[in-house]
Amino acid sequence: MKNKTLAAYLALFLGLFGAHRFYLKDWRDLWGWLHIVATAIGLVGMRRTWALGQDDPLAWLLMPLLGLSIFSACLAAMIYGLASQARWNGAYNPDAPDNARAGGTSGMTIFAVILALLLGATALMSAIAFAGQRYFEYSLKSV
C-alpha cells in the first residue's frame, strides 16, 4: 500500500534525489534518476559560483537546474497531496479496497502541500531571477 502522505513528504524533503519516484514506481524509474542528474548538475553550478564567483557563465547556466529540480519535486508533493483518495488508490494501490486509508488526506498531508507551495514558489522565482539577472548582465558586458 502506497501512502499519499509519505509520498508527499518524500517529494518535499528528498525529491531532489527522486525518492518519491522510487517509492511509488521502482528504482528503475527513469524520471527518478533524472531528478538526481539535474540536481547534480545544479550543484555543480552552485559549486562553480562559490569557487569562481558569480561571473562564471557556465555556473549561471547550470545553477537554475537546482531551482527547477526543487520546484518539480515540490510540484509533485502538491499533486500527490491534493489527489483524491479514489484517484490515488486507483493509480498506486489498484488492489486496495475502496475504503483503504492509504490514499486518504490528513492534516499532515495538507501541511506538506502548504510547505511544498512555499518552497516550490521560492525555488522557481529564485531560479528565474538568478538566470535572468545573469543573462542580462552578461549581455550588457558584451556590448
Q: Do 80 and 108 meet the contact criterion of CB atoms below 8 Å apart?
A: no
Q: What is the pLDDT of residue 111?
A: 95
Higher pLDDT, 74 or 97: 74
This prediction's pTM: 0.83
Kindly report the average pLDDT of the chain as a whole number: 88
Q: Could you give the 3-state DSSP secondary structure of residue 137?
A: helix
How far lies 56's CA from each of 40, 41, 42, 66, 139, in Å? 18, 15, 14, 16, 13
Dist. CA 24–CA 4, nearest whole Å: 10
Across 104-133, average pLDDT: 89
Q: What would the pLDDT profile of 36-46 be if each residue is shown by its tens digit?
A: 999 999 999 99
pLDDT of the residue at 143: 60
Cell numbers placing 7: 509520498
- Residue 105 scores a pLDDT above 90: no
Strands (E), the chain: none
Answer whether 65's CB lies under 8 Å from 45's CB. yes
Per-residue pLDDT tens for 76-102? 999 999 999 889 988 998 887 766 677
The pLDDT value given to residue 24: 94
Looking at residues 113-127, what average pLDDT do you find? 91
Range 41-60 average pLDDT: 87
- Please write down the long-range contacts of 91-96, taking CB distance under 8 Å and 24 or more positions apart: 92/2, 92/4, 92/7, 92/24, 93/1, 93/2, 96/1
Give dist(CA 43, CA 67) in Å, integer: 10
